[in-house]
């Protein structure tokens, strides 16, 4: 062993005291070394840096989900500028948001054999490739950014991935058997169990149905359960623009709390959000101050309240206010209406709207939020990123799937090029693309959302997308049978099967139309008048 190499531990000679001597680690000056790099965002990890602890476990997984880890091949001969610029390229997209802005950072060193981090003294030649490899040793290289992790990069995908990594235990399963006609009732029975844990992975089985997996039934279970929840006694209003009801019996029975738990459970397990809260109510619940001057009184379904709000909104002169209207306004907590001036009417209207949709149901909202927070403090996370969660909690920003978006969900599984089946499969795919064009143009009796329910069990793309692309397979029509085999699916495996060699696009459209209509995924929950009262 070369005792002059300070990176090697020196063993004692026979004529010296029996003890070990540790020397400072120094790497060779030439060569390429592959390194994992962990970037700690300053605002989030400054407190942890003061404790000098390397993030591990869930903290490390969170950084991976945020894109704050990378791998780089370091050349020992790099200058300090080369080293800095190459590391900056790894993470600048997460921090740099305007022209001329630069990503800067500080190198950290981990004490050998521990999780302790500290800021090392800068060498005279700067942080060259050789020096960076020296301080990182045989582990990862740690740096801390000089910028806070920007909120705009915390999109819905990242936030929910972090939440699920920290709150879902895939090693624990809970088996649930449900009936399609009693989904909400079945779900409520589950959350009322003393041993209910939203972190456990639910294995859903529909009564008297066979499935080849769990992902499809799970998506369908949460979608249909939340749809039934919207029709329960705790909500009122028009579809997609619902308010919480003022139901004291439901409050005493903790139904608002249970609703919050169901929504939190769905989001934790990869299901949808409610997508039904009125956007104004949602903003008020998040501590925002939305403009109420142009609030549409038609959204209020109570006949008396709607009538009086309409009269007040259209009135410009207090002298024209009827005695009944003034009495109603006074009973709502504004006794000054009898002496109000005309210019105060807009402010009175806004206070009445806020009182009706928010202050009047404060206890219900509080219980609903407590239910959400019982699932890993979910509401606190939503409130912190309320704008990101708008399409999850409300029906705002919900755009129909486009033709290109829908086509990108699929991958075609052809037979081998030399197979006799290949030509028939290619003909089917051509007709399939024509059918999708017809659906996009409104010339079919079903939509992309209907087709998505048929194939996957959900009517929208999950917040984190599907675990894989939908596989398009083929089947051959059995000539010995008189009946026509319709297209079929595996919602668990995300597979769609179409007939090989179908003669025309119109024939394939007819087959798909029958299959979609006959599927069990179409249950209408809305009342005839389109609103809940």
Which of these, 387, 378, 388, 433, lies nearest to 408 by C-alpha position? 433
Residue the block writes with tokens 């704008």: 387
What does the alpha-carbon distance between residue 72 and residue 136 come to, in Å, rounded to a whole number? 13
pLDDT, position 332: 93
Q: For 476-507, write each residue's pLDDT tens digit.
A: 987 777 678 899 988 878 899 999 988 899 99
Query: Is this prediction's pTM over 0.75?
Result: no
Residue 470: C-alpha distances to residues 141, 235, 249, 450, 505 (Å): 39, 35, 45, 15, 21
Both tokens assigned to 223? 């979608």
DSSP 151: G
- For the chain, 533 residues long, the average pLDDT of each consecutive 10-residue run is 37 42 47 88 54 72 79 90 89 70 85 82 91 91 80 66 84 87 91 93 82 78 91 93 96 97 94 93 95 93 94 92 94 93 94 96 97 95 91 82 86 90 93 94 90 84 75 86 84 89 92 85 40 51
Per residue, the 3-state secondary structure of 372-411, as one string, reads HHCCCCHHHHHHHCCCCCHHHHECCCCCCCCHHHHHCCEE
Per residue, the 3-state secondary structure of 41-83, as one string, reads CHHHHHHHHHHCCCCCCHHHHHHHHCCCEEEEEEECCCCHHHH
Question: Which ranges of 231-320 does DSSP label H, i.e. alpha helix?
Answer: 248-252, 255-268, 279-285, 303-314
Q: For 354-363, write each residue's pLDDT tens digit.
A: 999 999 999 9
Under DSSP, is residue 178 helix (H, G, I), strand (E, B) or coil?
strand
């Amino acid at each position: 062993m070369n005792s002059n190499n300070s990176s090697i531990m020196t063993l004692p000679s026979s004529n010296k005291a029996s003890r070990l001597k540790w020397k400072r680690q120094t790497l060779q000056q030439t060569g390429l070394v592959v390194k994992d790099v962990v970037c700690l965002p300053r605002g989030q990890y400054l407190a942890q840096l003061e404790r000098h602890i390397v993030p591990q476990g869930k903290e490390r997984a969170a950084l991976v989900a945020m894109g704050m880890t990378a791998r780089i091949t370091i050349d020992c001969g790099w200058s300090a500028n080369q080293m800095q610029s190459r590391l900056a390229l790894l993470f600048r997209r997460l921090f740099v948001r305007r022209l001329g802005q630069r990503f800067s950072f500080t190198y950290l060193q981990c004490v050998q054999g521990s999780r302790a981090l500290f800021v090392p003294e800068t060498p005279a030649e700067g942080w060259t490739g050789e020096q960076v490899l020296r301080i990182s040793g045989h582990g990862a290289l740690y740096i801390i950014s000089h910028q806070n992790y920007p909120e705009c990069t915390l999109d819905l995908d990242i936030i929910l991935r972090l939440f699920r990594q920290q709150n879902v235990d895939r090693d624990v399963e809970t088996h649930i058997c449900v009936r399609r006609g009693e989904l909400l009732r079945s779900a409520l029975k589950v959350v009322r169990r003393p041993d209910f844990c939203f972190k456990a992975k639910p294995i859903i089985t529909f009564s008297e149905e066979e499935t080849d997996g769990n992902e499809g039934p799970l998506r369908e279970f949460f979608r249909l359960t939340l749809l039934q929840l919207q029709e329960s006694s705790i909500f009122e209003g028009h579809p997609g623009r619902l308010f919480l009801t003022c139901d004291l019996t439901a409050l005493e029975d903790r139904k608002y709390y249970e609703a919050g738990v169901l929504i939190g459970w769905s989001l934790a397990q990869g299901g949808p959000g409610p997508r039904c809260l009125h956007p104004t109510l949602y903003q008020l619940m998040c501590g925002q101050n939305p403009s109420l001057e142009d609030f549409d009184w038609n959204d209020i379904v109570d006949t008396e309240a709607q009538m009086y709000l309409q009269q007040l909104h259209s009135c410009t002169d207090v002298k024209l206010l009827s005695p009944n209207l003034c009495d109603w306004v006074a009973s709502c907590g504004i006794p000054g209406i009898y002496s109000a001036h005309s210019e105060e009417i807009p402010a009175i209207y806004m206070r009445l709207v806020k009182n009706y949709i928010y202050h009047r149901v404060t206890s219900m909202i509080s219980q609903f939020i407590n239910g959400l927070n019982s699932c890993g403090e979910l509401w606190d996370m939503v409130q912190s990123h309320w704008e990101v969660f708008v399409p999850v909690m409300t029906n705002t920003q919900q755009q129909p799937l486009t033709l290109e978006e829908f086509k990108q969900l699929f991958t075609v599984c052809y037979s081998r090029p030399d197979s006799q089946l290949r030509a028939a499969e290619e003909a089917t795919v051509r007709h399939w693309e024509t059918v999708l064009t017809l659906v996009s143009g409104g010339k079919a009796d079903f939509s992309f959302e209907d087709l998505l329910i048929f194939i996957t069990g959900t009517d929208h793309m999950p917040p984190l997308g599907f675990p894989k692309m939908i596989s398009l397979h083929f089947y051959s029509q059995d000539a010995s049978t008189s009946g026509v085999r319709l297209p079929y699916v595996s919602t668990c495996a995300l597979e769609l099967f179409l007939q090989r060699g179908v003669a025309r696009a119109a024939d394939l459209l007819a087959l798909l139309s029958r299959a979609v209509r006959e599927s069990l995924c179409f249950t209408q929950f809305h009342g005839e008048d389109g609103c809940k009262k």
